[in-house]
Amino acid sequence: MDTSQQGTPAGRTGAERRRSPAGPADVATILILLVLAREVLVSAHNWREYFVVHDYLAGMATDEDLEAVDSGALATAASSFSLMFLVGAAAGVAFVAWLWRARVNAESTSGADAHRRTRIWVIASWFTPVINLWYPHQIVSDVWRTSAPRRPVPLALVNVWWASFLLAGLVRPIQWRTASEKEMNTEHDVLVNANVSTLLTGLFLVAGVLIIVIIRRITAWQTRTV
């Protein structure tokens, strides 16, 4: 009896290793787009708030106008922490689910040795302090590189995505601080908040659009070989 096949039923390994990432890619793309849409709404609300405050101080807006800024649907969507958390968490889970499948597929053609980090880091790297500053970039870079039909492929797209994602993470707490009621006491404070919010939205848009491009391209490469 050939013991080399024991514990591995025929066809099981191949089925586990080669599954189309198209479904997870679609879900991740939609949820990432929702995250980006919310970020745009936040910036739109912050600029609307600034212009109303500016007009109010110039005598061109009323108390009712000020109240309307904080009570409209735009303000609700922009300020809802639960909405931000739910959409952001869902997008993160969907992305990691896609990345896991893409990594398994990449290993089936390139071998595990072609990847700098073991598979468990596909999930753990996002939640481990300090390590989350570069491990996720390495994991995505390796999947990108080993999935390409023609090698080598430039990593500029992945590098710019990661740089903009990290910068957004640095700007986010600054924007939260400028948006707090204790910080916004003057028209200048409201303007600073709008500007910081726009910077954050710009960084998220760059990171979001690029990761969607990365997801779609890796998915297309792997779908051809599934």
- What residue spans define the domains of the chain? 21-223
Model pLDDT, residue 61: 85
| Residue 136: count of CB within 10 angstroms of its CB | 21
Distances (CA, A) of 154 to 74, 144, 150, 159, 224: 40, 9, 11, 10, 20
Model pLDDT, residue 54: 93
Model pLDDT, residue 81: 73
122 within 8 A of 100, measured Cβ to Cβ: yes
The whole-model pTM stands at 0.86
Model pLDDT, residue 180: 81
- Helix segments in the chain, DSSP class H: 12-17, 22-57, 63-71, 73-79, 81-110, 121-124, 135-147, 156-179, 187-223
The whole-angstrom separation of Cα 90 and Cα 88 is 5
Mean pLDDT by 10 residues, the chain (226 residues): 37 56 97 95 92 91 83 69 86 98 93 95 96 98 93 91 97 90 82 96 98 97 81
The amino acid at 63: D
